[in-house]
Amino acid sequence: MQALSGFASGVLFALGLALGGMTQPGKVIGFLDVAGAWDPTLAFVMAGAVGTFGPLYRLISRYASPRFASAFVVHATWPIDAPLLIGAAVFGVGWGIAGFCPGPGVVSAGTGAPEGVVFVLAMLLGMLAFRGYERLRSAAPAARTVAAE
Residues 80-99 that bind another protein (CB under 8 A): 80, 83-99
- In three-state secondary structure terms, 113 is coil
Q: For another protein, what does the binding mask look like between residues 56 and 85, x meaning CB under 8 A?
A: xx--x--x-xxxxxxxxxxxxxxxx--xxx
Which CB atom, from 60 or from 143, has the smaller least distance to another protein? 60
- Which residues, numbered 6-25, are part of the site for another protein (CB under 8 A)? 6-25
Characterise 92 by phi-psi region: left (phi > 0), alpha (psi -120 to 50), beta (else): alpha
Cis previous bond, 79, omega within 30: yes
Residue 140 in the binding site for another protein (CB under 8 A): no
Residue 136 in the binding site for another protein (CB under 8 A): no
Residue 141 in the binding site for another protein (CB under 8 A): no
Q: Using CA atoms, how far apart are residues 104 and 95, in angstroms rounded to an integer?
A: 11
